[in-house]
Structure 1
Amino acid sequence: MRLLVVGASGFLGREVCRQGIAGGRAVVGTVHTGSVGVPGVLVRRLDVTDRSAVRELFVAVRPDAVVATPYRYDDWAVTADGAAHVAYAAAEVGARLVHLSSDALHAGRPTPYSDDEPPTPVFPYGAAKAAAETAVRALDPGAALVRTSLIVGEGSKQIQLCRDALAGRVALFTDELRCPVDVADLAAAVLELVDNGYAGPLNVAGPDAVSRAELGVLVARRDGLDPAGLRTTTGAACGQRRPTDVRLDSTRAAGLLRTRLRGVAELLA
Structure 2
Amino acid sequence: MNLLVVGASGFLGAEVCRQAVAAGHRVVGTHHSAAVAVPGVAPRRLDVTDRAAVRALLTGVRPDAVVSTPYRFDDWAVTADGAAHVASAAAEVGARLVHLSSDAVHAGRPEPYADAEAPTPVYPYGAAKAAAETAVRAVDPGALLVRTSLILGEGSKQIQRCRDALVGRATLFSDEIRCPVDVADLAAAVLELLPTELAGPLNVAGPDEASRADLGRLLARRLGVDPAGLQTTTTVAAGLFRPIEVRLDSTRAAGLLRTRLRGVAELFG
Q: Which residue of 2 aligns with 1:145?
A: 145
The residue correspondences of 1:107-122 to structure 2 (distance < 5 A) are 107-122=107-122
SS at match of 1:3: strand
Amino acid across the alignment from 1:231: Q
CA deviation map 1:139-171 (0-9, x unaligned): 000000000000000110100000111111111
Amino acid across the alignment from 1:266: E
Amino acid across the alignment from 1:238: A
2:34 aligned with 1:34: yes
The residue correspondences of 1:34-183 to structure 2 (distance < 5 A) are 34-183=34-183
Unpaired runs of 5+ residues, structure 2, are none
2: CA distance, partners of 1:236 / 1:65: 42
CA deviation map 1:29-57 (0-9, x unaligned): 00001122111100000000000000000
2: CA distance, partners of 1:96 / 1:108: 31
Q: Which residue of 2 aligns with 1:220?
A: 220
2: CA distance, partners of 1:36 / 1:220: 31
The residue correspondences of 1:242-253 to structure 2 (distance < 5 A) are 242-253=242-253
Amino acid across the alignment from 1:60: G
Question: What's the TM-score once normalised by structure 1's chain length?
Answer: 0.99
Amino acid across the alignment from 1:137: R
1: CA distance, partners of 2:2 / 2:244: 39
Q: Which residue of 2 aligns with 1:206?
A: 206
Amino acid across the alignment from 1:187: A
CA deviation map 1:156-215 (0-9, x unaligned): 010000011111111100110000000000000000111112101000000010011011
CA RMSD after TM alignment: 0.5
Unpaired runs of 5+ residues, structure 1, are none
1: CA distance, partners of 2:196 / 2:36: 26
Q: Which residue of 2 aligns with 1:2?
A: 2
1: CA distance, partners of 2:86 / 2:222: 39
CA deviation map 1:41-95 (0-9, x unaligned): 0000000000000000000000000000000000000000000000000000000
Identity %, equivalent residues: 78
Q: Kindly state the Cα deviation for residue 116 of structure 1 after the two structures are TM-superposed.
A: 0.2
1: CA distance, partners of 2:226 / 2:105: 34
2: CA distance, partners of 1:86 / 1:157: 25
Amino acid across the alignment from 2:186: L
Q: Kindly state the Cα deviation for residue 120 of structure 1 after the two structures are TM-superposed.
A: 0.5
Q: Which residue of 1 aligns with 2:185?
A: 185
The count of aligned residue pairs is: 269
1: CA distance, partners of 2:195 / 2:217: 37
Amino acid across the alignment from 2:202: L
SS at match of 1:99: strand
Q: Which residue of 2 aligns with 1:267?
A: 267
Q: Kindly state the Cα deviation for residue 6 of structure 1 after the two structures are TM-superposed.
A: 0.1
CA deviation map 1:199-240 (0-9, x unaligned): 010000000100110111001111111110100011111111
Amino acid across the alignment from 1:265: A
